[in-house]
Amino acid sequence: MLEAFAQPLSASTRYCAVFGHPIRHSASPALQNAGLAALGLDWRYLAFEVHPDNLREAIRGAQVMKFIGVNLTVPHKLLAMDMVDLLDESAQTWGAVNTIRFEARAKDGIWRPLRYFAETVPSEIRAHGFNTDAVGLGRALREDLGMELAGAKVVLLGAGGAGRVAALKLAAEKVSQLFLVNRTLPKAESLRDEIHQRFPEVKAAVGYPGQAVDLVVNATSLGLKPEDTSPLDESQFSLRQARAVYDMIYRPAETPLLRAAKGAGCRVANGVGMLLYQGTEALEIWTGRTAPVEVMRKALLNNIYGT
């Protein structure tokens, strides 16, 4: 048992939750409850299967039940942009919401996170949307791969929801060149155009590079299923031309891409770090305290890999 709450559940226990569809395999409850217990909070983190058609009602339900906050996972992150009362700069910048913090208007008229109200919570409550995925990716690339992103040349595989956040984050970190690769070409092209518009100093191009790069990032879903092949076409780009490879997938721990990258001598890391750091960031947004990272990492690895 990794989480050991000092107090049993009671009528004054506070709640956070994750909403997703599907949700059964989410590692977030293990991750967050370990963090909450280590901080000594009488809070719990729950998981709910919420169909996208019911997302608005579910957020509203958590709000009226005075939850501290919620996380949103697939397929809710884009939908929620229109369902919160206020968007933090992070959600505006990355165009997706994965963390909501509920805030109440105090007697002095100031909005404060619900953690500030112990006895009576004011009835006027708003949902404040944040995005912690980009922070999570940046921190994972720095800490797990030792990457210096400024000036780096990067190949990004995937231009879906996760790929877009990754591309924008890498551009914001001032990588020098971004090579965008996606099965459906128009999606990579429109991402390239968005990068050009928002980050004109970053050279973004569609397709594999004809040169060595510092980093390859996989943001496609290829590798999740046992029969999946690598998302990287080695006839077009050799992994020997890459110094490091990051795969956002964390289950399985070693995807065909990471296996090949290891064989080619690249530094490699899977997506568990990104999952960890998006979660520690969310916990800090809710609690206002420094997240107990190592306790949370241990709980996450135990939940996912049984280690």
Interface contacts to ligand ATR, rule CB under 6 A: 158-163, 182-184, 187, 219-222, 231
- Using the minimum distance from each CB to ligand ATR, give the nearer residue, 201 or 227: 227
C-alpha 300/C-alpha 307 separation (Å) is: 9
Centre a 10 Å sphere on the Cβ of residue 216 and count the other Cβ atoms it contains.
Answer: 28
Give CB contacts under 8 A, 24+ apart, made by 255-262: 255/218, 255/223, 255/228, 255/230, 256/223, 256/228, 256/229, 256/230, 257/218, 257/222, 257/223, 257/230, 257/231, 257/232, 260/230, 260/232, 260/234, 261/216
Nearer to ligand ATR, 228 or 254 (CB): 228
Closer to ligand ATR at the Cβ: 220 or 287?
A: 220
**CB of residue 75 vs ligand ATR: minimum separation in angstroms?**
8
Query: Shortest distance, CB of residue 1 to ligand ATR, whole angstroms?
Result: 32
Whole-number minimum distance, CB 274 to ligand ATR, in Å?
12
> Minimum distance between the CB of residue 50 and ligand ATR, rounded to whole angstroms?
17
Q: Tell me, what DSSP letter sits at residue 228? A: -
Q: Are 219 and 160 in contact (CB under 8 A)?
A: yes
Which residues are the active-site residues? 77
Please enumerate in sequence order all residues whose Cβ is within 8 A of that of 212, keeping only pairs 6 or more positions apart, or say none. 153, 241, 242, 243
Residue 26 or 63: which CB sits closer to ligand ATR? 26
